[in-house]
Amino acid sequence: MIITDTHTHLYSEQFDDDRDQVIERALAAGVSRFFIPAIDSTYTEAMYSLEARYPNHMFLMTGVHPTHVKENYREELAHVEDQLKIREFVAIGEIGIDLYWDHSTLKLQKEAFRAQIQLAKQYNLPIVIHCRNAFDEVFQVLEQEKGSDLFGIFHCFTGDLHQAQKAMSYNMKLGIGGVATFKNGGIDHFLNKISLEHVVLETDSPYLSPVPFRGKRNESSYILNILEKLSDIYEVSTDKIASITTENSKSIFKK
């Protein structure tokens, strides 16, 4: 059984003391494909170091996270463009809009989001969307950019069925993680109405640990708890969930 974690920040400082052990636990659990989203230029070298240490397992994205879109965002976008010119990436991500912490940067976030979507189109890459308290704003940008050259993953999907269907209408897979295991997460009530062909698995580690690890640091091996939850929701084996979601990740990332 090959399990794919489509979203994990293994370069995070939260893993500095035991990164190798965390990765070894995941590999032992059957997680052999790790897709690594970017945050901003300050993490680039840490991401490259992670890839160099585990070249057969780590697949890197590039991009500027919406909470890191500040007044200097054009410099950050220039860094993304520079990286795209010198090496391959599997996606532009994570990008999008986050209005949980700060509404004052909405205009800048929209500009950065749109610019990175256009970069993804230029390089024929998928996008990986971060959306927090911002479904309407994200959908507004996607509506303007929609087309056969727009595709990717709606990371950490936490919306309702209607929002899920709308996300899928823009050629987005749904990234399903720890929220599916939460008592009041909500998505477990309608997820079985969505074909598994539209779903990929993720942890978003070190964040959003699934039950029974909620409140603790997340890690990629905990994807087994998400896998088991989806097996219950869809009433199919964990092997089948792992197989379908891994194939879905390959169709998106071409890796």
Here the tokens at position 77 are 């976008």
Bridge partner list, 172:
152
Is residue 32's pLDDT more than 90?
A: yes
pLDDT of residue 66: 97
Report the alpha-carbon distance of residue 114 to residue 108 in Å, rounded.
Answer: 10
pLDDT of residue 142: 98
Q: Does residue 200 contact residue 250 with C-beta atoms inside 8 Å?
A: no
Q: Does residue 174 contact residue 200 with C-beta atoms inside 8 Å?
A: yes
Residue pointed to by tokens 């010198």: 86
Q: Does residue 95 contact residue 128 with C-beta atoms inside 8 Å?
A: yes
Q: Which tens digits make up the pLDDT trace of 190-202?
A: 999 999 999 999 9
**pLDDT band for position 185 (50/70/90)?**
confident
The mean pLDDT value for 41-52 works out to 98
3-state secondary structure of 216: coil
Residues near 235 by beta carbon (within 8 Å), at least 6 away in sequence = 192
Q: Which tens digits make up the pLDDT trace of 132-150?
A: 999 999 999 999 999 999 9
Mean residue pLDDT across the chain: 97
Q: How many CB atoms lie within 10 A of CB 187?
A: 21
Residue in 107, 234, 91, 59 with CA at minimum distance from that of residue 155: 91
Q: Does residue 144 contact residue 170 with C-beta atoms inside 8 Å?
A: no
Residue pointed to by tokens 């089948």: 240
φ and ψ of 148, to 5 deg: -65, -20
The mean pLDDT value for 29-58 works out to 98
Mean pLDDT is lowest, of 27-31, 63-67, 183-187, 231-235, for 183-187
Q: Which tens digits make up the pLDDT trace of 75-87?
A: 999 999 999 999 9
Is residue 3's pLDDT more than 90?
A: yes
pLDDT of residue 193: 97
Task: Give the CA-trace dihedral at 118, 35, 13, 72, to 10 degrees.
Answer: 0
Is residue 164's pLDDT more than 90?
A: yes
Report the alpha-carbon distance of residue 92 to residue 117 in Å, rounded.
Answer: 8
Write down all domains in the chain, each with its CATH number in brackets.
Answer: 3-253 (3.20.20.140)
pLDDT of residue 102: 87
The mean pLDDT value for 66-75 works out to 95
**pLDDT band for position 101 (50/70/90)?**
confident
Is residue 173's pLDDT more than 90?
A: yes
Residues near 103 by beta carbon (within 8 Å), at least 6 away in sequence = none
**pLDDT band for position 113 (50/70/90)?**
very high
pLDDT of residue 245: 98
**pLDDT band for position 71 (50/70/90)?**
very high
**pLDDT band for position 55 (50/70/90)?**
very high
